[in-house]
Structure 1
Amino acid sequence: METFDVVIAGGAAVGSAAAYFLASEPAFGGSVLVLEKDASYTYCATARSAASIRHQFSTPENIRMSQFGTQFIESVATRLAVDGEVPDVGFREAGYLFLASEAGREVIASNHRIQRELGAQVALLDSDELAQRFAWLNTADLSIGSLGLAGEGWLDAYGLMRALRRKAISLGAHYREAEVAALVRRGPRVTHVELVDGRRIACGTVINAAGTGARALAQSAGILLPVEARKRCVFHFTSPEPARGCPLVVDPSGAWFRPEGDGFICGISPAAADDPECSDFDVQHTLWDEVLWPTLAARVPGFEAARVRNAWAGHYDVNTLDHNVILGAHPDVDNLLFANGFSGHGMQQAPAVGRALSELVAHGHYRMLDLGRLGWQRVVEERPLREANVV
């Protein structure tokens, strides 16, 4: 049976970030194997996401992780270059704009105070300031907006993932196209992973970065992980309205839109009653017809003439407890680390989480950021650490 010091189940953004940071960690020096069931990454959440990063969260740990994510993205040319080939992830630093009516004003203001305390560059704009800055925006029912001034925007998420993977391999990490079927546990330790084809690989540490497949892996080790796959649809549309200077706008309804190519992309989370756990990739076109189009046309009158050009579906690995990642070891298993339940924030938090996982393996504790509150204890005690700004 082959043996690796660290086996990572899942090789998309989070798994590849962990592999990169482990391979570049001087205090580690062990062997790393990444097992990814689809080397094309066609259906992974990273490739199907809106590929955006923001600092405007309500949870301090999320703010800090995304701040690190921005720093990492801005330094990929030096961090992830291989043999003189410099990756370009196309980071467009255009900001997020969260909008609120009078009913949501205090939430925006409260989040703003936390964000500013942690150094986020954000500004509060009243309805008149919003109208002056974004002439294409209907502000009649708005009380306030929170605009990211630096560090927020969108990028080529697939390109970032591939650059992490390539750099990790150049530093000695091994990648294989294989699916982990089960984690085989003996007492407080996972002794080996079992693949779908029956092969077994012994391990010192296992990292569960399997996205929507994470719950099944956890269950194979006797652990109940409160993570479910929830479908999210993205629509690409064009419009005669150019909406110049448009950031990623989050409407009070929860609908969002941002520029993409010669048009815009948009989406919205379905109502709770229409948002079951699912694994298919069928686009919910009624979301555009019945929800998004009317909402967007009301917010940006020029979008009345919008026309959908393309659409796709992906999945969030939703932490049903509090929408925050579950990070680190379970109290009952010493060598199984979790990085699951990102609830749509995985790509932007991948660099920080990858580094955090490498610190847990190499040093046994966090060094850069204290992410202890995101651990299993709150889950075991059913004590949620709720994130209010989920898009």
Structure 2
Amino acid sequence: MQAPENTSYDVVIVGGAMYGSSVAWWLSRNPDFNGSILVVERDPTYEFSSTSHTNSCIRQQFSAEVNIKISQFGAEFIHGFQDFMQDDDAPEIVLQSYGYMYLADNEAFAQTLRETQAIQQRLGAGTKYMSADEIKADYPFYNLDGIIGGNHNLINEGYFDGGTIFDWWRRKARAQGAEYVHNEVVVITKNASGDRVESVTLASGEVVSCGTLVNCSGPRAARTARMAGLEIPVEPRKRYTYIFAAENPLDRDLPLTIDPSGVHMRSDGKYYLAGCPPDDDPAVEYDDFVEDHSLWQEKVWPVLATRVPAFEAIKLMNSWAGHYAYNVFDQNAIIGPHTQVSNFIFVNGFSGHGLQQSPAMGRGVAEWITYGEYRSLDLSSFGYERIEKHTAFVEKAVI
């Protein structure tokens, strides 16, 4: 454990993975913010963080306008990464635009795809609704028995190297003055009236005063909130990823295909990637990353071989279980201040959208801390108030 250099900070960020580092980077680069930043990370290897288990995908195929705009800025950030970093050594980040292919096997979902395509197109996305025949013409390797149609977008939609972005955010945040410590917040203390966080106590014993506390603790978000006497509907849920080789590789890239079964698959360099939620999807312990190996044999592989007959002969190369920070209320992010404890800021509950949304969400939270308002993109619809009022954020395209 590391002790922090000081006993008081303007901003204390709990969790230093993708979101903690995004907020720290955006804050530390803002000329209008001149405060001190402490990032507290319990595991600096990030071995079990959601950041380390991400599939690094981005899509514009959402139904809510703000989610589409968030991803559009994410694509802008990826393409302009070197300019954003303002560093000649920053690498180019390539967005592999294979696109998402949502497949519909019933008319109700097909109609939903048509409606969301219209919204996406109005906002400038390249999504097209395709009939089964049109899909077959472009991607003849699919077995489309039972499929009515699908949505596909080949522009700024696919996967990218999220690990490099995270690494640069963390490195540049430090260079810009943010302090990272290997430690853990174990107590959060509020003032006498209970409307502000005054300090945090670290596992190593230090008491650190803070002006603003930011909860970036991923699947552990509820545990962090409860230290302040707050509740948030976020829990860790397992998601499984598989890397496999095909004896007969496809003759073109495989879009990130969302099968009606819930299994998804895509090209991944010379290999292929697949994933899915378990059929029984409960909350799990924070340190439970044990794989259910029957899922591959009984669910994933049969779906792959059915949807893409060339995948009847494949070899599993690697697999892992990671955690979604799953918002059980409406599967969308909870961003911004608590309604009563005004300096407790949520950056939680992304439910699998986290990496692609991290550029826009980190920017927005940094704006809120600096200015008391969102300036680039209005993120108020993700506020905690909706949790208290039981008013769900409606997003039809959740994987």
What does residue range 191-340 of structure 1 map to in structure 2 within 5 Å? 191-243=198-250, 244-271=252-279, 273-279=280-286, 280-340=288-348
Distance 2:177 2:367 in 1: 18
CA distance in 1, matches of 2:202, 2:97: 41
Residues 65-85 of structure 1, C-alpha deviations (whole Å, 9 max, x = no match): 111111111111122254x31
Match of 1:251, as an amino acid?
Answer: D
Q: Measure how far apart 1:274 and its partner are.
A: 4.2
Is the CA contact 2:337–2:343 (under 8 Å) kept in the aligned structure 1?
yes
Q: Give the match for residue 91 of structure 2.
A: 87
How far is the alpha carbon of 1:61 from its aligned partner?
Answer: 1.8
Report the Cα distance in structure 2 between the residues aligned to 1:330 and 1:300, rounded to whole angstroms. 47
Q: Distance in 2 between matches of 1:327 and 1:182?
A: 22
Partner of 2:163: 158
- Aligned to 2:38, which of 25, 33, 37? 33
State whether structure 2 residue 196 is matched by structure 1 residue 189: yes
The CA deviation at 1:221 is 0.6
User: Counterpart of 2:356?
Assistant: 348
User: What residue ranges of structure 2 are gaps of 5+ in the alignment?
Assistant: 1-5
CA distance in 2, matches of 1:338, 1:345: 16
- Whether 1:100 aligns to 2:108 is no
* TM-aligned CA deviation for residue 357 of structure 1: 0.6
The Cα of 1:226 is off from its aligned counterpart by: 0.4
Letter paired with 1:10: G
What are structure 1's unaligned runs of at least 5 residues? none
Pairwise mapping of residues 45-194 of structure 1 onto structure 2 (< 5 A)?
45-82=50-87, 84-103=88-107, 104-186=109-191, 187-194=194-201
Residues 88 and 159 in structure 1, CA contact (< 8 A), matched pair in contact too: no
Aligned residues: 389
Q: Give the structure-1-normalised TM-score.
A: 0.96
CA shift digits 1:42-64 (9 cap, x unpaired): 11101101111111112222111
The alignment's TM-score, normalised by the length of structure 2, stands at: 0.94
Contact 1:194 1:201 in 2 (8 A): yes
Identity across the alignment (%): 39
Deviations 1:313-364 (A, max 9, x none): 1100000000000000111111111010000111111111110011101110
Residue 398 of structure 2 is aligned to residue 390 of structure 1: yes
Name the amino acid aligned to 1:375.
Answer: G
With over 3 angstroms needed to count, the CA separation of the structure-2 counterparts of 1:140 and 1:258, relative to structure 1, is same
Please give the alpha-carbon distance, in whole angstroms, between the structure 2 residues aligned to 1:297 and 1:120.
31
Whole-Å separation in 2 of the counterparts to 1:341 and 1:221: 17
Query: In the alignment, what sits opposite 1:23?
Result: 28
One-letter amino acid of the structure 1 residue matched with residue 307 of structure 2:
R
Change in CA separation of 1:200 and 1:88 when aligned onto 2, cut-off 3 Å: farther
Q: Quick one: structure 1 residues 322 and 369, their matched pair in 2 at CA, closer, same or farther if it must change by over 3 Å? A: same
Q: CA RMSD in A?
A: 1.3
Does the residue aligned with 2:163 lie in a helix, a strand or coil? helix
2:262 and 2:244 map into 1 onto residues whose CA distance is 18
Of 103-112 and 330-339, the range deviating more from structure 2: 103-112
Runs of 4+ deviating beyond 3 Å: 273-276
